[in-house]
Structure 1
């Protein structure tokens, strides 16, 4: 495959990840404005935000099955769904309406997450080259840029509806152009006829990969959600410094994923994942015990670099294990299982911080990253299990 052909094949994947990140980067910066326009207090906002995760869990596995059946036609539809759902939080008022809007937003987001990840795995299979870490690096880099841009627009007086409207137009444009499957694109591989077992739970291999991904996501979202709070409340950092915590994490995640994509060309996932988890554990411990804000930011940078590699690599392993005809179902099962860790991470940190201290809770996050390091070699066992 020529470099030009490879670039053309990869462009829709990168643009899908960037479009997805464009919304979520703006969302993080505009959440206070959404809260204000909806007229809800912190408690109502916290309850409404739970609906994002619930909505995603409701659509992830179903989207995987749809991608396996209909192929690349599903991705632009999920982008359109996210474009429509992006407007909802800026249009509603009241806790119940905001919760309903965020449930729809989560459902659309979970569907697009699975569809674009499946497209990346399919491209990896076609090229026989790692790609998913690089695509996730595009996501992380776009989140940084989008969050800074949205913050600047908010400071200039631009409201959330206008910003999300612009994001929706970008998503519609992507769906109508580069995300549309080309004419003559290959259809999904036909499945063999005959009865197939129906599972209430994913296969053991996918449960193992999803469980490891859940640990990685727990560590990742714990730092994304609590890093700034730790700097400000534990280390008395000024607001300008504490706000650098999530940006530092996302920027280092982008760098880590670019490096991880290169390393996967030379090293197998069972060799790379323990090292990445060890880096995350070391960074988490350094940040949790840091005496000053700069030391904590250095630890957060290490944590972001280490955790960034884990989930994309696990999804790649799942897709390779499943084969062409079940790739999307396999990746969606791993993503849905792992997403539970993403949801509970911030809540667990908050509960432990309330019972002990935030510093102690973040030391616990480091311990979980160390546990991931110990368990990561199970990826090799899972990948060798036969499909059934």
Structure 2
């Protein structure tokens, strides 16, 4: 199946993936400014990112309820809620304000993340086609575009709040392209006795490692380029942008690859490629070589999370899919905030080179997890 056909079948969720990418690309390219704006060191800044996990915990329980109540409109409502909160980080002037902003963003972003992934899983079941990689590729498209635009805006001296407001307006516009979103499949309320624990834990752990690996580049690559290698703000923004470009390529290519090779084999190969890229970024003596490392890393890690969620959708009954995906997605999404905290602590004591070296070891944890995936019924 062609990429365009996959995106045509899932245009509503694909638009939502772009929305989430727009925010996190803007956020990643703004990290040096945000960090200085609130007066936080590496360890404190990394720890503050954990505040998002509180909102994520609420999203894990609230998203399935929202989906049941609003049905086909749940994704659009979650998108508008998320877009309305876009500007909060740019307004924060203290660590406490920043933590509060991230808590609300964790709730809104986590809710949208659960709903859009569940909708893709519904569409995969409906059409009997693999769609997850194509949709996650649209996240990377939004991420790359916003990271590059934010870098140019910073280079031009534009106030950060203008950038975040512009992205918020873009989200409102994109929400109008979500017409025709598929009605969610019939759901349970968690009381039917369906046993989804083991698939959720295994697949959630795979997604967690993938997103943790991705998050290290999103949150710290700009600082690595600017501080460790002496780059400019535009140079720094190209770090997360390079990740976004290669993740887009990897996910769109993964749409084709997963139709030819087993999903388990693709995850194993992707983990090894990502580890090689992380080592390259860690030892790079110049910014161009660091970009190459980040690029290889993004190419590998790009398909791990989407395939993990796709496998989960195949392992659980249809009526339990939203509940299962919500648990696994939130487990995985927590990686975006656990990893930066750990990176901050390691960076503070040992530097960013050692921190990125640790990422190579992290992504290889996927290998034993793949072996533990339950057989499909």
**Range into which the TM-score falls when normalised by the shorter chain:** 0.7 to 0.9
Aligned to 2:297: 303
Residue aligned with 2:144, SS: helix
Q: Which moved more, 1:62-71 or 1:299-308?
A: 62-71
Shift of 1:93: 4.6
1:156 & 1:344 partners in 2: Cα distance?
32
Shift of 1:207: 0.3
2:353 to 359, 375, 380: 359
Q: Which moved more, 1:268-277 or 1:338-347?
A: 338-347
Residue aligned with 1:346, SS: helix
Are the aligned partners of 1:68 and 1:188 in contact in 2 as well (CA < 8 Å)? no
Shift of 1:212: 1.8
Residue aligned with 1:130, SS: coil
Residue aligned with 1:178, SS: helix
2:98 & 2:214 partners in 1: Cα distance?
26
Aligned to 2:343: 349
Give the paired residue count.
374
Pair 1:252-2:237 in alignment: no
Are the aligned partners of 2:29 and 2:222 in contact in 1 as well (CA < 8 Å)? no
Aligned to 1:189: 186
**Structure 2: any 5+ residue segments left out of the alignment?**
none
Pair 1:375-2:369 in alignment: yes
Aligned-pair RMSD on alpha carbons?
3.2
Residue aligned with 1:251, SS: helix
**Structure 1: any 5+ residue segments left out of the alignment?**
none
1:281 to 275, 283, 291: 275
Shift of 1:268: 2.3
Pair 1:40-2:38 in alignment: yes
Are the aligned partners of 2:17 and 2:135 in contact in 1 as well (CA < 8 Å)? yes
Shift of 1:354: 4.2
TM-score by length of 1: 0.83
Q: Which moved more, 1:259-268 or 1:291-300?
A: 291-300
Summarize the Cα distance change of 1:265–1:68 in structure 2 as closer, same or farther, 3 Å threshold: farther
Deviations for 1:179-211, whole angstroms, at most 9, x for unmatched residues?
Answer: 2446xx6563265x9952499xx6011101111
Alignment of 1:167-316 (within 5 A): 167-175=167-175, 177-181=176-180, 186=183, 188-189=185-186, 196-197=192-193, 203-234=197-228, 236-239=229-232, 241-316=235-310
Deviations for 1:209-230, whole angstroms, at most 9, x for unmatched residues?
Answer: 1112222222222233333444
